[in-house]
Amino acid sequence: MLLERAAALASKVTEYEKIKAGAYEAEQLRTRATQFTNAAGKVEMAQTLLAQLNQAGVSVEYTATDAAGLMDKAGALRIAVATDPKVLADPPFDLRFGFVDRLAGLATAAEKASSVAWSQWVSQKSNLSSDDVLTALSALPQFRNSIATIKQCRTSITALAATVPSNVSAAMVQLDSLLTAHNSAWADLTAEGIPEGVLTFIRACAGEGAPLALLSDEVVDWLKQRSLTNAFRIKIR
């Protein structure tokens, strides 16, 4: 009777050890699955951003470091797992630091490069006027409404440039709409008693800049009388 109980207990212990080993292997597989899913998600997102920006004509300076080496590791791991899934518990290379983390690092670098490229593109496309000029002109009652609209557009454009949008094409349409409103506000700058030459000079400053020929004595005198001369800068192109 005692021997039978001992044998039964030994069988239960053996079964428990098998279950325990199986649970450990399952936990390792879950860990690997989480690592792969996270890395794959980051790579897919970065790839989508690069593809959208490229299609939209936004140039991104980015090169995936050692992409060939990582592709070789992915291929080797795929073959090994197809033969024996347990290889994930003891992979042929450092799976985390030598593969998963490096994939995530490439994706992060791509996202940063995309963000820089998008911000630069928006900045070049917008070519916004000086904040100093807007601040100075907003002190004049005649310009307050137009300047308020211009500042609101600038705030929205700055926010748009801060992060690469999930839909680049839609963001470009939004940017065009903001620039239209921005430029219209500048074009609508009218004020009774302000010389046309002064208005022409101020409007030109909103675009690529006013040519020196527009800085007439009339304009200089008008700016001096309103302490606005320090709000403008000469830029040689």
pLDDT at 203: 77
Last residue of a domain, one of 91, 108, 123: 123
pLDDT cut 70: percent of the chain above it: 81
In a domain, 43, yes or no: yes
Q: Based on the fold, state whether residues 9 and 82 are members of the same structural domain.
A: yes
Pull the structure tokens for residue 21: 């080993």
Lowest mean pLDDT among 23-27, 63-67, 189-193: 23-27
C-alpha distances (whole Å) from 63 to each of 109, 110, 117 are 9, 8, 14
pLDDT at 18: 47
pLDDT at 69: 79
Where do the DSSP E strands lie in the chain?
Answer: none
pLDDT at 159: 94
Please say if the pLDDT value at position 207 is more than 80: no
Domain with 100, as residue range(s), is: 2-123
pLDDT cut 90: percent of the chain above it: 22
Please say if the pLDDT value at position 154 is more than 80: yes
Residue 24 — pLDDT band, cuts 50, 70, 90? Answer: low
Short-list 202, 174, 170, CA closest to 187: 202
Contact between 149 and 197 under an 8 Å Cβ cutoff? The reply is no
Q: Based on the fold, state whether residues 88 and 149 are members of the same structural domain.
A: no
Mean pLDDT over all residues of the chain?
Answer: 79
pLDDT at 12: 44
CA-based torsion, 9, 10, 12, 16: positive or negative: positive
Lowest mean pLDDT among 113-117, 126-130, 214-218: 126-130
Q: Report, as an integer, the average pLDDT of 159-174.
A: 92
In a domain, 236, yes or no: no
In a domain, 237, yes or no: no
Q: In Å, how far from its chain's centre is CA 57? A: 16
Question: Could you report the per-residue pLDDT of 76-106, keeping only the tens digit for each?
Answer: 777 777 777 777 667 777 777 777 788 888 8
Question: Could you report the per-residue pLDDT of 220-229, keeping only the tens digit for each?
Answer: 998 888 888 8
Q: Based on the fold, state whether residues 85 and 69 are members of the same structural domain.
A: yes
* Number of compact structural domains in the chain: 2
Q: Based on the fold, state whether residues 173 and 196 are members of the same structural domain.
A: yes
Last residue of a domain, one of 64, 98, 123: 123
- Three-state DSSP string of 95-162: CHHHHHHHHHHHHHHHHHHHHHHHHHHHHHHHCCCCHHHHHHHCCCHHHHHHHHHHHHHHHHHHHHHH
pLDDT at 17: 45
Last residue of a domain, one of 94, 123, 152: 123
Q: Based on the fold, state whether residues 154 and 65 are members of the same structural domain.
A: no
Q: Based on the fold, state whether residues 6 and 76 are members of the same structural domain.
A: yes
